[in-house]
Amino acid sequence: MLREKTLLFLPGPTPVPPRIQAAMAMPMVNHRGPEFSALHGEIARGLQALFRTREEVYVLPGSGSGGFEAALVNFVPAGARVLAVSIGDFGDRWARAAAALGYRVERLEFPPGTAADPEALRERLRADTGREIRAVLITHNETSTGVTNPLAELAAVVREHGALVLVDSVSGLGAMPLEMDAWGLDVVFTGAQKALMLPPGLTIIAASARAWAAAEEVDQPRYFFDLRPYRRGHRDHSVPYTPALSLLYGLRESLRMIEEQGGVEAAWARHRLLGAMCRAGVKALGLELLCRDERYASGSVTAVKVPPGVDPNGLRRVAREEFGAVLAPGQGKLKDAIFRIGHLGYATPHDVIAAVAAVEMALVRLGHPVPLGRGVAAAQTVWLDHLAAEKGDRT
Ligand SMILES: Cc1ncc(COP(=O)(O)O)c(C=O)c1O
């Protein structure tokens, strides 16, 4: 096996395109000088297009989890009640982060593999007659289960109540539809190592005018994740601390790539295709998906139930060692119940075909009989049908 050509089918970190790697090799510049202003300005515009917002988008050194903290400490008063809507491990983590920061956390949980139900959310918020809940925490795409929440509907329900809508779109933004302004999302954050095709290391966050108005009365202690100095300096392309310059060069290149390939809507369509191919492939092998409802199936990552009698660690080990394909394990309660195939960021239909082929071969090696090529053929068929439909649309 050529180790350098290991195929990374993780839902982050995802492979980094050579073009972005090259961009990140740029020499350092003065982050208080004119080159930085140009870099910052271009990134700021590109991110607004990606977030579908007219608000400013800030880029901080950090990771996705930095967004958990920044979204709370800037916009929710100390000790306030928040409602954490959780459909999996990352929803749980955000709830734990909120509790660690001293917020009074209520939870609304849904079983793994399902999306949050807007009606259940409405009921819960209606019970809050004293309007004590100041913010609702929602995961856009739950990476641990491969489920995408009906974010527009959930946000509309929160609007009826009046709390802020805080959204973790770490593995959703740039892969699945998200309309920050049109859907009334108050805070949206993401990380670098998912649909943006970068190495890890950035927290990227935007807030609505409503969120900024609410921020006026926020007394929560904060320093590194205080967004106010970012906001004050934004128009002058000034950031409070030394920025992660190499990653910013990479981010500029990533935004250019997304734009050149048809913009964010084209990226959404590509991920939709990748998800559909992957699901068709694994289902054709007789494997079961964790997410049974196609409407909420993720375009970033597919969670597959480990078939009875198959050792999940063995499956991933064989896929990695014998076929050079890195699959992701289940997380938390689902550790041994599922494996996950990431298909986001720098991913093409060929990658999905390779991932399904590796799963087929690993299962055969483990003595679990699957008909070789059946999953691959199903994935190919989805791709061909997609092309035919696209060509049909054009004529
Ligand atoms: C949905 C979601 N939220 C939050 C995170 C945490 O991001 P990070 O590991 O970059 O801190 C992840 C990471 O995979 C994620 O998928």
User: What is the arithmetic mean of pLDDT over 105-130?
Assistant: 98
Instruction: Tell me: pLDDT of 3 over 80.
Output: no
Strand partners, 338: 305
Ligand 1 centre and the CA of 65: distance in Å? Answer: 6
Alpha helices, H only, 221-373: 228-233, 245-260, 263-284, 312-323, 349-365
- Distance from the alpha carbon of residue 137 to the mean position of ligand 1, in angstroms: 14
Mutate to test the pocket of ligand 1, among 86, 92, 143 (most ligand atoms within 8 A of CB): 143
171 lines ligand 1 (CB under 6 A): yes
272-292: pLDDT as tens digits: 999 999 999 999 999 999 999
Atom of ligand 1 nearest to the CA of 172: 1
Phi, psi of 248 (to 5 degrees): -70, -35
What does CATH list as the number for 3-13+263-394? Answer: 3.90.1150.10
Mean pLDDT for the stretch of residues 28-33:
94
pLDDT at 394: 59
Over the chain, what is the mean pLDDT?
97
- 333: pLDDT strictly greater than 70: yes
Question: What distance in Å separates the CA atoms of residue 320 and residue 315, rounded to the nearest whole number?
Answer: 9
> Which residue has its alpha carbon closest to ligand 1 atom 15?
170
Q: 311: which 2 tokens? A: 């050792």
Start-end of CATH 3.90.1150.10 domains in the chain: 3-13+263-394
Segment 24-30 long-range contacts (CB within 8 Å, at least 24 positions apart): 24/199, 24/246, 24/247, 24/249, 24/250, 24/253, 25/246, 26/245, 26/246, 26/249, 28/245, 29/245
Decide: 90 in ligand 1 pocket, CB within 6 A.
Answer: yes
Q: Which ligand 1 atom lies nearest to the CA of residue 140?
A: 1
pLDDT at 156 over 70: yes
Q: What is the pLDDT of residue 4?
A: 77
The answer to whether the bond into 13 is cis (omega within 30° of 0) is yes
Cβ–ligand 1 distance for 92 under 6 Å, the answer no
Report, as an integer, the average pLDDT of 224-239.
97
Report CA(68)–ligand 1 centroid distance (Å): 9
Check pocket membership of 10 for ligand 1, CB cut-off 6 A: no
Tokens 């092309």, residue? 387
* Residue with CA nearest ligand 1 atom 8: 64
- Identify the band that residue 386 occupies on the pLDDT scale cut at 50, 70 and 90: very high
Region 41-53: mean pLDDT is 98
> Taking the CA of residue 341 as centre, how many other CA atoms within 13 Å lie in the half-sphere pointing to its CB?
34
At 157, is the pLDDT very low, low, confident or very high (cuts 50, 70, 90)? very high
Q: Which of 8, 59, 65 to mutate to test the pocket of ligand 1 (most atoms within 8 A of CB)?
A: 65
Contacts of 18 (CB under 8 A, 6+ apart): none
Q: Is 143 in the pocket of ligand 1 (CB under 6 A)?
A: yes
- Listed in sequence order, the residues at least 6 apart from 317 whose beta carbon sits closer than 8 Å to its beta carbon are none
What's the mean pLDDT in 117-137?
98
User: Which of 248, 200, 223, 210 minimizes the C-alpha distance to 58?
Assistant: 248
| N-term to C-term CA, the chain | 45
Whether 145 lines ligand 1, by a CB cut-off of 6 Å, is no
Nearest atom of ligand 1 to the alpha carbon of 139? 1
Q: Please identify which residue in the block is written with the tokens 């068929």.
A: 381
pTM of the model: 0.97
Is the shortest distance between the CB of 253 and ligand 1 below 6 Å? Answer: no
- The reply to whether ligand 1 has any atom less than 6 angstroms from the CB of 64 is yes
Mutate to test the pocket of ligand 1, among 59, 86, 90 (most ligand atoms within 8 A of CB): 90
Predicted confidence band of residue 369 (pLDDT cuts 50, 70, 90): confident
Where does the chain hold its CATH 3.40.640.10 domain(s)? 18-260
Q: How far is the CA of 371 from the centre of ligand 1 (A)?
A: 35
C-alpha of residue 330 to centroid of ligand 1, in Å: 14
Enter the CATH code of domain 18-260: 3.40.640.10
Check pLDDT > 60 for residue 301: yes
